[in-house]
Amino acid sequence: MIIKSTQELAAYQAAADKSTQILRQLFEASKEGVTPLEIDQLADRLCAEAGVIPCFKGVGSKRNAYQYATCISVNETVVHGIPTNEPLKKGDLVKVDFGINDQGLLTDHCFTKAIGEPSPADLQLMKVARKAIQSAARKAVTGNRVGDLGYTMQSIIEAGGASVVKELVGHGIGHTLHDEPQIPGYGRPRSGAILREGMVICVEAQVIAGKDDGIYQEDDGWTIKSYSGRKSAMFEYMVVVGREPLFLTKTWDWSLK
């Protein structure tokens, strides 16, 4: 989607604010002993109270449409984790990905949180992932290209001793959840689609500790895990492209635990 008026921008900012308020409550609820399914049920209740629709529900094929308000991915589950009844425990890294449909405007954003005190390695992984994605989001400037963002993420992630998942991408968003352009977490400077004034995009990457050894999908058709079993981190931010990027989802300064 390309925002073309102050009215459209105000409406999208209002939707993003509602989504961020709900995501913050999910962040606070992500504690030792709580199950991902309980967090998902909370998301459903909060959406109902706010008068919005969880926009992940129904995504996918008719045979295997997604049935939950959130994707909750723990440890080696990289993304698209189906909420389970297994309680979160100390040492886990939990990624909660969430979005809403507010009168036709969709949101999509994600945090990673350590349950309990993170190990030095886990803390480093989260810091590297967050720095990479935030640095890329700052490059969502009119006239830049998606390769500029991807190169920024890849460079920081690999310098930090981790690897970016290349099979998954960031994306445009608006009246549909996944819009153009696609924004890989890797790339070459000055390559790929041009970012245009007013584009609404989701800047994200899935980051696995250590050297890349690939991912695989579980038989449920959704859950994606690292082959190595190493932990992963993910952050996702919504940005409006402009001479200076406008960050719709204000989650940058959230704690990592």
* Domain CATH code at residue 131: 3.90.230.10
Which pLDDT belongs to residue 213?
80
- Angstrom distance (rounded) from CA 55 to CA 146: 25
Q: Please, which residues bridge with residue 74 across strands?
A: 94
Provide the number of structural domains found in the chain.
1
Does 254 map to a domain? no
Task: Read off the tokens for 60.
Answer: 């996918």
Q: Give the DSSP H or E segment for 126.
A: helix 120-137
Does 1 map to a domain? no
Does 147 map to a domain? yes
Express each pLDDT in 152-176 by its tens digit.
999 999 999 999 999 999 999 999 9
Find the domain containing 238 and state its range. Answer: 6-247
Does 101 map to a domain? yes
Do residues 39 and 29 make contact, with C-beta atoms less than 8 angstroms apart? yes
Express each pLDDT in 183-222 by its tens digit.
999 999 999 999 999 999 999 999 999 998 899 999 999 9
- Angstrom distance (rounded) from CA 234 to CA 253: 15
pTM of the model: 0.96
Does 162 map to a domain? yes
pLDDT under 70 in the chain at which residues? none
